[in-house]
Structure 1
Amino acid sequence: MIRLPEGAVILDDAEARQLAHAVMTAHQFMRSHGAGMNSSVLVLAANIATTSGNPDNPDDNTEQYVEHEQIDTPEAARILGCSARNVRYLAGAGRLPGHQVAGRWHFHREDVLVFRDYQDRAA
């Protein structure tokens, strides 16, 4: 790593790939715990990985990490075909990934759809 007087940093290819991988790994961990990462950080990590000689996006398709439509409890209940109370129970029990903001549950639409499809196969 080289630091420039203007505050810029130059990374070699290996350092750039490590940084991009670390960002995507942190994002996956955060997502599994109901949190998310700023999409501009994810896009930056993908750009770092692709400019460092790696033609593929880090770990997976970056679109999967960047596009997250947030939905509320009533919409999740509509998708799952159950009550809002049941959705809150599932989220509180850790069975349905989501996060609370000011006491209200929020979910990634894709997570709810995956949960629904998994429940349909299990039934």
Structure 2
Amino acid sequence: MIRNIIRLLIQAILLQGLGRIFWPEVYIQDFASAVIVVLVIAILYKLVYPILKILALPINFLTLGLFNLVLNGFIFWLASSLMGTAYFWISSFFYCMVLALIYGLAQELLKKIFNPYRSDY
């Protein structure tokens, strides 16, 4: 339980940092909004992403898995749409894909740093 809370806070800090790096294109109001956005993204990854992955399987097969980047960008765009422009906003779908790519790479890096021997973080 404590590990999940710490992971949530680290992901919120990561998202807040990415919002600062891509500031004119990505807007996050404050840290509380970042925590809520991370929760919304996690829920979307658990509920919507598996359905999208099954529906996009032929396209994913043809692009050798590169279409997953578009699906991840769609999840970020959907989270941005659900949160509203006052709390979390991404200007274009391109920045959704860039944010999803960097966010995913940073998550994997954090997994390797904080727990290098456990495979099911």
User: Same fold, TM exceeding 0.5?
Assistant: no
**Structure with greater proportional strand content:** 1
> Counting helix residues as a fraction of each chain, which structure ranks higher?
2
Higher relative contact order (CA 8 A, sep 6+): 2
The normalised TM-score by structure 2 is 0.26
**Over alpha carbons, which structure has the higher Rg?**
1
TM-score w.r.t. the length of structure 1 is 0.26
